[in-house]
Structure 1
Amino acid sequence: MQDSTARPRLDDQQRLAVETLDRSVAVVAGAGTGKTTVLVERFIALLDANPDWPITAVVAITFTESAAEEMRSRVRQRILQRISTAKGEDRRRWAEHLSRIEATRISTIHGLCSEVIRANAAAVGVDPGFQVADEASAAVLMKDALAIALRDFAGADPETGDPNAAAAQEVLTRYDRTDVEEVLLSAKQYAGLEPPPAAVDTIEAMFERAAESRIAEICASDAARDILSIDAPPAADKQGSLVLAAQASLRAAADPDIPTAEKVASLKALKFHKSYGSVKNWANEQQFQFAKDSMASLKTEIKALEDLAFDRDLEETALVLTHGWHTLIHHVLAVYEELKRRNDTLDFDDLEVKAEILLMRPDVRRRYAGREIQHVMVDEFQDTNHRQWNIAQGLAPDLMDGGVFIVGDPKQSIYAFRGADITIFKAASEQIQRAGGLIVHMNRSYRTHSALVGQLNRLFDGVMKPLPRTTRPEQFVTFDETHALTAQRESPDDHLDVQFFSVAPDGTKPKSIITEAQVIAAHIRDIVTTKSLTVIDRTTQQPRPASYGDFAVLLRSFRGNSGYFEQAFVEFGVPYVTQSGRGFYDRREIRDLIELLKALRNPSDDLALAAALHSPLFALSDVDLITLRSRGGTLYEALDEEAALQAEHESIEHPIVFAHTIFDGLCAVSGHLPADTLLLRIIAETNYLASIGRLPGGRQMRANVEKLVDIAREQRTAALPDFIAFLEVSREAEVKEAGVALDSGASVRLTTIHGSKGLEFPVVWLASVSLKSHPNNRAKVIAAESIACRMPQLAEDGSTNGSKLKSFWFTWTQQRKQDAAAAEAQRLFYVAATRARDALFISASGKDSNSLNALSEALDGAAIQTPSPPQTPHKPLEARVRVEDTGFPLAETSPAAPPPSRRRLTATDIADYGSLENADSDTERDYYHHRIARRLHADDYEPIETLTYDTENSMPSQRRIGSLVHSALLYRVDILMKDDPERAYQVIDSLVWEAGFTLSEARRMIVERVRSYLEAYAESPVARAIEQAKEVYRELPFVIERDGQLVHGKMDLVFVDHEDRWTIIDFKTDSVSDNAAAITTHARRYMLQLAVYAAALRERVGATPTAQVVYLRYPRHVVTLPPAELDRELARLKLDAIAAHFDSFSPHT
């Protein structure tokens, strides 16, 4: 039996990747081959082999934050295993690594870039306190940039003589303004591309090369040789005349002296009519039939010229417009850069660019490579780009010194839309090999059984290869049989082969997709109810019938399709989970509300206000926002001015007037209302639920908004700034919650292929599969290496008449874009198919079903079963449905009862339960009973009336004062009071003002009260212990599962002293008697809550902590709970019983 503290058993390929430490290594890791295990084991092996390295000397770059968290957790577990077996100095060294585990450089590329830039900010001219713009903030900045750029061009002098400026004006004249704004709002995707050709001659030369290449292929084809071999076709015969014309065109095509355009025109002008001609005019029937067949084959070959055309006048006009678009795009980008500079903001591209610049400087590189950093590992390397590879090399010692380890799989590169470059993996691997490094192929699958692996290999052999006449051969990954996957586990005797369903081949969308969704739902239901499919249970490793929870239905995109599948699952009684790929706090409807809250906190926050105004909360259009921005000043000032103007000339219902009225009213009360009441007022006054209810997925959006109000109720005492801070912390922490949601429930998972990356499922159904690329036929501008534009044709009156012409430059660019997309479609298919452990189903519908081309051939070559689709019942069934976001689970229930699900308890729930247990009187017991019932059954209460505070004549409650003290501690005001008392006073004053106490006399009194409490706290033993601690963590979020229930919350403060002892601090704002006995008695109500904190901390870092309760009004009396007492409390903690007790509460008790 293997020792649990030992390294996991590795196969030969894995061991080579882990133990080759003296050379740089590139690992090609197929799907399910244990890539993460290898990364973790190599990390540990490097620390083992280099005892003088701190843990921060090894860098691991991951693709996502969740991957970084998973790797950090697994490294922590391996270090704990080493500590358990090590002795003496070895044990001390591993304990030191554990104490610094949170400081490890296991991070995304952008997290690492941010660290490098902040440490060297002056060298690249940025403020070290810069903020990183997420996608939403960057989009708002881009809207600002667009408004300014268009205003610049509107006021530009048309007689400047600058041809590019004139071309830009031509674009603004020739294209609809909406189209212009749509392209320019996406300007970032065109950044860094090559400029368009300078002259039409360059395009003509490209046309000639492309045309001559295709003409040469035609002339070398069997069809051409057959046509030319026909001797003396009868000219009087209709078919014979066609053959003679074809012979003449083919001979001309081979003549180097004839212009290319003439050759193309001649070949494209050929006529093909198989019914023409009479056999009596030919030498014999065989010659006649041969001629007809050869002409039919030639017709197919000449289709290769279909999109080839060159018209100099058209190209001249198109090139002018392309340069105009190029000028507009780059002006918008220049304004965008300036706005970021003014706001001390960097986006993700900036992080990469500036980090790369820094690491090209010898002085900066010397600080990291070989000093702070000894080894760099990069995960998911197939999804990197040139800059990221340069950054990794800049941080690491030289490749020849074994400083770099990359791992990935080119077949799984599916993030081109995020800038990933498929060619980098091959180039970097060759670079490592030239530097004396090693290339390792890991191809043993620990996921999929042998029969399925064999079928997949045969399928990939037919699918993964370059398309004929592709313009982008470098984008395709050809399947290599020598490195095909092998299986670690044998197939069960009753395994199911891959099955393919062709559904409604003659149907049109959306009807065919609806039929396909019904087929899938019905088939999954039949499999589960008849127990006709066996899977291997991951826990017991024994076969069992497949359940709904074993199935994952994967779509290439949710756009326009997911609703049909959700409806089908409802109709056929299949419980399902929609895995959206976004966390709760990143949902559009939640971000809308958070942005409005941020704008209410600070009306001068233009980014937040613009996002809120553009959302369904106020529904201002892009035109409205551009109108506001054109006024100058802050957006709030512009809103005020424009609303006054509109009110004079238009009805009060004008959107800008409505937005101004509502926003001003909310501003007036936002400092005085609890967060939940403020949210309810926002929702009511903007009619937000009705607005989002009409959108696709409106029911789930409404449920999400209601969940946010519930969360606000749990934070009811928090002032608006504190609540916003809580939401942002929760957003960062919810990656862990997403993992919990993903693993829960006996429901079919509906997700995208991108959302499934890195995961595995017993049974995968790959739906609506297609290997085609689908170009956007509306796009006015497209891009490959450079941009090209679809040129509108002008009518006689100068207006656009809707007809679109395509220049050769546009056609060429579009073909290159489509070829790259087709290559990625093959890789998407590979990723989707390799998610399956036990069984794989594939289906296609409508026209895609008949045009699968390579897939159809590959299916035949792999002997894939193509059974008839099951009959779908006509009568809808009652369904059990649970629709979840990747954050908090949200229920949408059809007529049948929903399946049981775990209650999500909060730390507040546990504290209230403890207070209920330890209440001193019936009155106090009734208070907590009512408080719990009210929170659990909030929907049974009428909306809370708007609250107001008379800040001039009344002081806040002691609990509110305690909350202000708590907020001040987060800002380290207790420490600031010693170093800079005046600055500390300003911070407290700001916190009190933001809490809604704006009148000067009341505010001064409250500030003094808060300061007196902070002074007492600063002199307390616990404050001194925290100040002397080795490590301090504030507002530490957690999620823990126990007794089938989930508990989530955050710990106020955790610190580690210099003897590596962990202590949890829980601040309380209660008012009790100021004596040690009374405080100790009162603190008992919080022991269950602290026991949960201790269990969560033990699970997270392996520590056995002490807990301390600190009453902020009486900080000298600290109640300490040693580990043994916490363990006793944990032993009596029955979360399922607490949940059941809560469920029994009546809302009006």
Structure 2
Amino acid sequence: MIRFEDFLKHTKAQLDDNQRKAVNVLNNCVVSAGAGSGKTTVLSYRFLHLVLERKARCDEILTLTFTRKAAREMHQRIHRHLLSCREDEEIAQQLETFSEVAISTLDSFCATVVRSDSVAYGVPQDFVIDDDKNLRTIGRVATELLDQYPQSPGAKLLSELYTPDSLIDTVLVPLASSYYCLPKTVEEDGAERILAAVEDEYERLLAQYREMLTLYASFTDKGNTVQGYKNDAQMMLSKMDALEGKAALHSLLCSSFAHRRAPGNGKTEDIQTIKETVAVYRELRSKLCMALSIMLAQDQLYAVMDFMRDFVDRYQKEKRSSGILTFADVSNLAVTMLTENKALRAFYKKKFRYIMIDEFQDNNAQQKAMLYLLAERTDREGEGIPLPEDLQKDKLFFVGDEKQSIYRFRGSDVRVFKQLSGELASIGGETITLGRNYRSEPDLIGLFNTMFVNIMQNEGESFEADFSTLDYRNASPGVQSSCTVLIKPYREGGEDEEEEDASSVEAEAYAIAKLVRQMLESDAYLIPSKEGPRRPVASDIALLLRSTSNQLSFEKAFRRFNIPYTVQAARSLMLEAPANDLYAMLQLTLYPDDRQAYATVLRSPFCNLSDWAITHVVQEPLFSILPSLSEDDAERLAACGAFYQRLHQAVGSESLSTLALMLWYESGYYLSLVSNPQYQVYVEHFAFFHRLAQIQEEQGKSVSQFVDFLRRNLVQNEKIDQLEVIKEQESGLQIMSIHKSKGLEFPIVIVGNTGSKGRGGGDYLSTFLDIPLPHYLSTSYHISATKQAQIRHAGTLFAGSEEQDMEIAELKRLLYVAMTRAETHLILSGAFTKNNRGLDPSKKADTLLQMLVESLPLDRDNPVYDEGILKVRPIENIPEHYLYSGEREDSSQVIARLQIAERWYEQATPAYEGHPIRVATTKLHPLVHGGEGEDLPRYPSDMILDGYAEEQVTGFGTFVHGLCEQMVLGKEVEKLSSLMPDSLTRVLKAQELAALQEDALALCRGFLESEWYEKEVKPYPVECEVGFFSAVEQEGKTLVAEGAIDLLVKQNDTYLVIDFKTDRRRDELLHRFQVETYMQAIERIHQCPVRGCVIYLRDPSLVLVWEGESV
């Protein structure tokens, strides 16, 4: 019999004290395993310990991992360890059935549970898991329901609140796929619960708001500021007491009445009271507006609830009938089954004596519930999820690291892992910390300790990770680790002052590529190996990015320095030449008359024809061999033509993936690329292109549909979903997202583009009270005299700043994960821009770069530092041509090339004398004055503009239009000058510009405070600058009128077209033609009554209105 200690002696394995303690523990345990602390070793050795010490057989241990790769690695490790103990007869016997041991992902185990009882939940036992097919099913069901005639009230409302694409792709698809997983349905009393919560909150807010008004109304200070607040409070109380009903109160509170700026530097007691309470006062009023808006829109809430009930019901029926589920369905069903089916729960409780789960920081409450169900005491069969006291005391073994929880967007919740220790400790459980990092060099660990003590400092929030100092191993002999920080400071006057300067991210990419080339060619960045210190090769280096949106800039820079690289996400696939060439050949196969595609094929590696030859053959029949062609060009054209014929025949019978292989290999395209060192980086693109063809093939797409897909996506810098390729080995510098790097390690890590803010998720859904819904209203309310906000769902009423704080907390963890991938050398780079400098001390750092600068700390305007292993250097501007290899052509070379291609520029036919068919609406009619107009009030700015040209007068009108539209939409304008056209800012003096801004504000406020605005605009949805094209007849010709409507107001079943005018004279005839053209266009587009009007902002009481019948 072989014991665990015998195994350690035989293999000479060494465990530190905490690792040994974790391996030997027999109570419920939470292991906090830091980066590089050997958690995989601990998990595999604990499995071995349980088996060798006869605590359990292999098939009595459930081991769960986060990824399939981790499960395979764990299976192989444990199997290898047991093989070394096969002389033990009992171990040898268990090895015979080791392939059946439960080492899998949590998703895979959930599927096994669900198959045990799926029929009882209306799901066939042979169900399959396919998230992609489900997404397509959701889109189809949603489209059918929205297109159903007549539309339901809910469908009609949602169609008004969202654009068609966003309604399906960003609202209904996420709701069905992430929230309404089997067997969850839309709650019957969901609307009542929401309204009850809002009603309670409303009563509380109203009482507090009245108290605040009463306080302000009692002020005794005689100063103007205090008296203004006092008078407003008294008038507000008086108006509120006189009102009847919530609708009237809503109208009052949402108006611009009684909004004042915060007081200045006064020091009286009343002033201090206002300063301390004005933020609360404003929040109370805003939240009352929200609560009233929701209560007054309850019909809309019920309509959306009915729509969602129908939508989810149809989608789930389709899933059950097809037997195609999602991973989320399976996880949800597994918990439901184990909760409700006690016999099934008892079976699994008995089957597994021990449960070990890895990476638990990336799980959530539902997954914890499933593990608690499996760990329930055998003498208990309680209802619902077991409490900690109902658990067996020695069954659960959790491994995770709260500092590495970075999958919140997938539903993980770091709070669950943090709470585990306390819950299990209450029943005698233990917590063990693996604090020694065996991955990184000691000097790097010292830097991590210095930085993350500051970065992860918190006030004890449950969603924050707590950092404790990391221990370290011995240093590698002969190697000096380093940390290099490259920062591009922000310079006032814009990023690209010189026309030919590269952008900030391109300058950063260039600096990184230049440094990588230095790493590969010098001894400055040696790394350890079995043979001793050595220079790194490209595959020893990884570039990690928060998002891959700027990946192309780094690829371009690496190609410039001939650095081989490999990518995890083919962000640049559709931006580069290979995809365009492959598309062109397929396009030409389907559409032989497409001369642009033909020219692309001739110039591409498919043919590599000379410029002279292309100009002479491109208009001839396809692949015609002209006598004037050189022998080389003729051979190339003939070979390409022969391949084209083979491809043309194959299109009718072969699969998309086979066609892709033909394009790449049989055509000679691949050989052409690898023959040129500069193009070898493109070879990897084919793996992604081939995978894309396979995906389209699996979806049943035809060749023409595949070509349409390629055409839509060419030159788009977008990541194509689900496009991942498994590679046997990585042969160059690896570019990947930080999330993809989780669990990996590299001798040299570059964390690039740290100044990126990432992409905001957007507020498209409501999950208030755990009732997932789309938005169900869009009501505006004033938050100041000029600014407005909108309420779209009840969740906004109860939302605090916690959501943003949770995002920033995860960003800290993302930086920790990125930096701790490094073994020997770490490089951090980023650029400061106008919008990411973090100059407001009251706001938390929201970029990785800002966190770096604040933790070290560094001077963001002069980033220079050199001490110990840390070196900080500025990134300099570079000319854009630095990013392109090769010598630049001189003028004689350019002229020579143009002469060769002279045929392109020959004018074969006389120039066609064209007449414009698209005209602006303002040019459709002659300027006819009515003659009966009247002068409107003048403003100080008029005298200023009188001294300038018509261009400046027009510019002022443009400025007022833009400002008025922003104010109508309730958008905050930080700097009025940002809206002023160049025709004003480059000519007028600062004092004159200030006067124009003051008059513009007065004109806009006059409109927003007018009775007409309150009645005709404010209560309704509004769109600004609505562009359109409309066919009109003029002088016997059909023209396309192009225009933009200042404001388009949807008034129930009628549209109101509004045109602003800053003219100094009121002239009905002059402006009527333009407005009527707008009205005719909207009437044709929407097929409903339309009214039109002109608003003279100098006197908003003068409104010219035309009814639809008069058009």
Query: RMSD over aligned Cα, in angstroms?
Result: 5.7
1:44 pairs with 2:48: yes
Q: CA separation of 1:755/1:33 partners in 2, compared to 1, >3 Å: closer, same or farther? A: same
Determine if contact 2:291/2:797 at 8 Å carries over to the other structure.
no
Tell me the equivalent position of 1:369. Answer: 349
How far does residue 213 in structure 1 lie from its aligned partner after superposition?
A: 10
1:154 pairs with 2:157: no
How far does residue 299 in structure 1 lie from its aligned partner after superposition?
A: 8.6
Alignment of 1:662-701 (within 5 A): 669=653, 676=658
Tell me the equivalent position of 1:769. Answer: 754
Q: CA separation of 1:571/1:490 partners in 2, compared to 1, >3 Å: closer, same or farther? A: same
Alpha-carbon distance in structure 1 between the residues aligned to 2:887 and 2:79: 46
Tell me the equivalent position of 1:862. Answer: 856
Which residue, out of 407, 421, 431, partners 1:429? 421
Alignment of 1:486-565 (within 5 A): 486-490=471-475, 494-497=480-483, 499=485, 501-504=487-490, 514-526=503-515, 528-529=517-518, 537-540=527-530, 542-545=532-535, 548-558=538-548, 560-565=549-554
Q: Secondary structure of the residue that 2:289 maps to in structure 1?
A: coil
Alpha-carbon distance in structure 2 between the residues aligned to 1:817 and 1:132: 32
Q: Secondary structure of the residue that 1:479 maps to in structure 2?
A: coil
Q: Secondary structure of the residue that 2:399 maps to in structure 1?
A: strand
How far does residue 146 in structure 1 lie from its aligned partner after superposition?
A: 2.0
Alpha-carbon distance in structure 2 between the residues aligned to 1:345 and 1:436: 43
Q: Secondary structure of the residue that 1:407 maps to in structure 2?
A: strand
Which residue, out of 351, 355, 365, partners 2:330? 351
How far does residue 65 in structure 1 lie from its aligned partner after superposition?
A: 0.5
Tell me the equivalent position of 2:369. Answer: 390
Q: CA separation of 1:667/1:62 partners in 2, compared to 1, >3 Å: closer, same or farther? A: same
Which residue, out of 437, 445, 463, partners 1:476? 463
Alignment of 1:390-469 (within 5 A): 390-396=369-375, 398=377, 399-464=391-456
Q: Secondary structure of the residue that 1:137 maps to in structure 2?
A: helix
Alpha-carbon distance in structure 2 between the residues aligned to 1:826 and 1:253: 45
Deviation string, structure 1 residues 233-287 (Cα, Å, up to 9, x no partner):
8x5xxxx633676799999999xx999999999999343586x99xxxxxxxxx7
Tell me the equivalent position of 1:185. Answer: 173
Tell me the equivalent position of 1:754. Answer: 739
Alignment of 1:809-828 (within 5 A): 809=794, 811-812=796-797, 817-828=803-814
Alpha-carbon distance in structure 2 between the residues aligned to 1:522 and 1:393: 52
Alpha-carbon distance in structure 1 between the residues aligned to 2:11 and 2:407: 36
Name the aligned partner's letter for residue 85 of structure 2. Answer: R
Tell me the equivalent position of 1:32. Answer: 36
Q: Secondary structure of the residue that 2:736 maps to in structure 1?
A: strand
Determine if contact 2:541/2:747 at 8 Å carries over to the other structure.
yes
Deviation string, structure 1 residues 453-512 (Cα, Å, up to 9, x no partner):
233234323333569xxxxx86621424xx332222359895434636244466989999
Deviation string, structure 1 residues 965-997 (Cα, Å, up to 9, x no partner):
xxxxxxxxxxxxxxxxxxxxxxxxxxxxxxxxx
Name the aligned partner's letter for residue 90 of structure 2. Answer: R
Alpha-carbon distance in structure 2 between the residues aligned to 1:324 and 1:506: 52
How far does residue 428 in structure 1 lie from its aligned partner after superposition?
A: 3.0
Determine if contact 1:18/1:41 at 8 Å carries over to the other structure.
yes
Q: CA separation of 1:680/1:857 partners in 2, compared to 1, >3 Å: closer, same or farther? A: closer
1:829 pairs with 2:808: no
How far does residue 110 in structure 1 lie from its aligned partner after superposition?
A: 1.5
Tell me the equivalent position of 2:224. Answer: 241
| TM-score of the superposed pair, with normalisation by structure 2 | 0.54
How far does residue 565 in structure 1 lie from its aligned partner after superposition?
A: 2.4
How far does residue 677 in structure 1 lie from its aligned partner after superposition?
A: 6.6
How far does residue 46 in structure 1 lie from its aligned partner after superposition?
A: 1.0
Alignment of 1:560-639 (within 5 A): 560-580=549-569
Alpha-carbon distance in structure 1 between the residues aligned to 2:154 and 2:770: 21
Deviation string, structure 1 residues 303-322 (Cα, Å, up to 9, x no partner):
97897562555334555445
Deviation string, structure 1 residues 673-705 (Cα, Å, up to 9, x no partner):
998479759999xxxxxxxxxxxx997796237
Determine if contact 2:334/2:370 at 8 Å carries over to the other structure.
yes
Alpha-carbon distance in structure 2 between the residues aligned to 1:105 and 1:581: 35
Q: Secondary structure of the residue that 1:116 maps to in structure 2?
A: helix
Alpha-carbon distance in structure 1 between the residues aligned to 2:230 and 2:728: 69
| TM-score of the superposed pair, with normalisation by structure 1 | 0.53
1:99 pairs with 2:96: yes
How far does residue 576 in structure 1 lie from its aligned partner after superposition?
A: 2.4
Determine if contact 2:539/2:733 at 8 Å carries over to the other structure.
yes
Q: Structure 1 unaligned runs (5+)?
A: 157-164, 278-286, 468-472, 594-664, 685-696, 713-733, 796-802, 881-893, 897-1149
Which residue, out of 254, 271, 284, partners 2:261? 271
Percent identity (aligned): 23
Q: CA separation of 1:538/1:828 partners in 2, compared to 1, >3 Å: closer, same or farther? A: same
Alpha-carbon distance in structure 2 between the residues aligned to 1:329 and 1:676: 43
Determine if contact 1:525/1:574 at 8 Å carries over to the other structure.
no
Name the aligned partner's letter for residue 242 of structure 1. Answer: T
Determine if contact 1:574/1:748 at 8 Å carries over to the other structure.
yes
Determine if contact 2:362/2:405 at 8 Å carries over to the other structure.
yes
Q: Secondary structure of the residue that 2:84 maps to in structure 1?
A: helix
Alpha-carbon distance in structure 2 between the residues aligned to 1:303 and 1:334: 42
Alignment of 1:738-1137 (within 5 A): 738=726, 740-741=728-729, 744-745=730-731, 747-769=732-754, 775-777=760-762, 779=764, 785-787=770-772, 805-807=790-792, 809=794, 811-812=796-797, 817-838=803-824, 839-851=826-838, 854-855=844-845, 856=850, 859-863=853-857, 866-867=863-864, 868-871=873-876, 873-874=878-879, 876=881
Q: CA separation of 1:50/1:265 partners in 2, compared to 1, >3 Å: closer, same or farther? A: farther
Alpha-carbon distance in structure 2 between the residues aligned to 1:437 and 1:415: 27
Tell me the equivalent position of 1:203. Answer: 198
Q: CA separation of 1:826/1:140 partners in 2, compared to 1, >3 Å: closer, same or farther? A: same
How far does residue 834 in structure 1 lie from its aligned partner after superposition?
A: 2.1
Alpha-carbon distance in structure 1 between the residues aligned to 2:475 and 2:236: 58
Name the aligned partner's letter for residue 420 of structure 1. Answer: S
Tell me the equivalent position of 1:138. Answer: 134
How far does residue 388 in structure 1 lie from its aligned partner after superposition?
A: 1.9
Alpha-carbon distance in structure 1 between the residues aligned to 2:394 and 2:263: 66
Alpha-carbon distance in structure 2 between the residues aligned to 1:698 and 1:328: 50
Q: CA separation of 1:786/1:875 partners in 2, compared to 1, >3 Å: closer, same or farther? A: same
Q: CA separation of 1:574/1:869 partners in 2, compared to 1, >3 Å: closer, same or farther? A: farther
Deviation string, structure 1 residues 177-209 (Cα, Å, up to 9, x no partner):
444333223332342698466465633644676
Tell me the equivalent position of 2:1066. Answer: none
How far does residue 750 in structure 1 lie from its aligned partner after superposition?
A: 1.6
How far does residue 766 in structure 1 lie from its aligned partner after superposition?
A: 2.5
Deviation string, structure 1 residues 635-667 (Cα, Å, up to 9, x no partner):
xxxxxxxxxxxxxxxxxxxxxxxxxxxxxx999
How far does residue 441 in structure 1 lie from its aligned partner after superposition?
A: 1.6
Determine if contact 2:775/2:793 at 8 Å carries over to the other structure.
no
Q: Structure 2 unaligned runs (5+)?
A: 1-5, 378-390, 583-648, 667-679, 696-721, 781-787, 865-872, 889-1111
1:79 pairs with 2:82: yes
Tell me the equivalent position of 2:941. Answer: none
Name the aligned partner's letter for residue 704 of structure 1. Answer: A
- Structure with bigger helix share is 1
Determine if contact 1:142/1:336 at 8 Å carries over to the other structure.
yes
- Matched length: 715
Q: CA separation of 1:737/1:709 partners in 2, compared to 1, >3 Å: closer, same or farther? A: closer
How far does residue 381 in structure 1 lie from its aligned partner after superposition?
A: 0.6
How far does residue 438 in structure 1 lie from its aligned partner after superposition?
A: 0.8
Q: CA separation of 1:104/1:710 partners in 2, compared to 1, >3 Å: closer, same or farther? A: same
Q: Secondary structure of the residue that 1:392 maps to in structure 2?
A: helix
Deviation string, structure 1 residues 1097-1129 (Cα, Å, up to 9, x no partner):
xxxxxxxxxxxxxxxxxxxxxxxxxxxxxxxxx
